[in-house]
Homo-oligomer: A and B are copies of this chain.
Amino acid sequence: MYKVYGDIQSGNCYKIKLLMSFLEIEHEWVAVDILSGETHTDEFKKINPNTRIPVLVLTDGSYLTESNAILNYLAEGTDFLPSDRYQRALVLQWQFFEQYSHEPYIATARFIRKYLGLPKDREAEYQAKQAGGHKALSVMETQLRQSPFLIGDVPTIADISLYAYTHVSHEGGFDLDNYPSIQKWLLAIEQQRNYLGMNA
């Protein structure tokens, strides 16, 4: 059985939980508390020297890190990862977009506001994250005006990757009123069979 080291309130970890729910993959979930430094112990560094979660442990004991790499591994051969070469590359395009152009703005703003309580010394950084976050949302809105899901008519792991922090973007101060296609897409994902919320 798979084992996952994660924190369900982290969007990066929630991605794995959500895909595993959609695919009905049995697993053991090992809760790791980032805020209390549990990813920085010597023991954890043996699992991931980059001191981050999630980490997937395969049945043979091998480790796999980076949320989007884990999604690709788990989704192989399922409807959540197309077999067509160009479509697979588009899935990766959106996932790299997520990690470079979306997460560092939207997830970080959410972290500063929700977990740190928007302290005075992080306020400038929080404000600076807003423009980048809205740029990422605009790029998504442009695509979702053209297709119901990011790659086409059915959800893929690209949608799961971007859903994770987009659906809680209000916790980072992002108002989705000006992104009607994103709102419709969020609902469409929530209506999928075996959908699981972040607080479930």
Contacts and interface: CB of A to CB of B under 8 A. Distances in A.
Contacts of A136: 50
Interface residues of A, number: 35
Given A73-B86, A76-B85, A86-B58, A68 B96 contact: yes
Given A49-B139, A99-B100, A138-B49, A93 B76 contact: no
Contacts of A69: 89-90, 92-93, 95-96
A142 B139 CA distance: 37
Interface string A88-125: 11101101110111011000000000000000000000
Nearest to A141: B49
A9 to B, nearest CB: 19
Copies of this protein in the complex: 2
A92 B104 contact: no
Contacts of A90: 64, 69
Nearest to A65: B93
Interface of A: 49-50, 52, 58, 62, 64-70, 72-73, 76, 85-86, 88-90, 92-93, 95-97, 99-101, 103-104, 135-136, 138-139, 142
30 contacts: A49-B138, A49-B142, A50-B97, A50-B101, A50-B136, A50-B139, A64-B93, A65-B93, A65-B97, A66-B93, A66-B96, A66-B100, A68-B92, A68-B96, A69-B89, A69-B93, A70-B89, A72-B88, A72-B89, A72-B92, A73-B88, A73-B89, A76-B85, A92-B92, A96-B96, A99-B99, A99-B100, A100-B103, A100-B104, A104-B104
